[in-house]
Structure 1
């Protein structure tokens, strides 16, 4: 198991960022391959509205 972990850390880092653009930009400045995902919480973060929308999908 330890060998696999060490092998992982010896590979070039590739990141999918789901969050602030500035996180992705900081990684890009360090030469890391980054894909930025545009994501927002369902219903703008309104949990009651998200629950209602979720019930429509059932």
Structure 2
């Protein structure tokens, strides 16, 4: 995955729950997660007009 950084910190954990009526709720566990370590320069350098990867 070009454009991404490697850290030894844990990743964010996302939990999705659906109610009986189909309403989704989301819980994110991000304490001490690596995604908070990006610098402004790294983020600016990663912006392109064409996505290089998608999550979903």
Question: TM-score scaled by structure 2?
Answer: 0.24
Larger Cα-atom Rg: 1
* Higher-strand-fraction structure: 2
The structure with the greater share of residues assigned to helix is 1
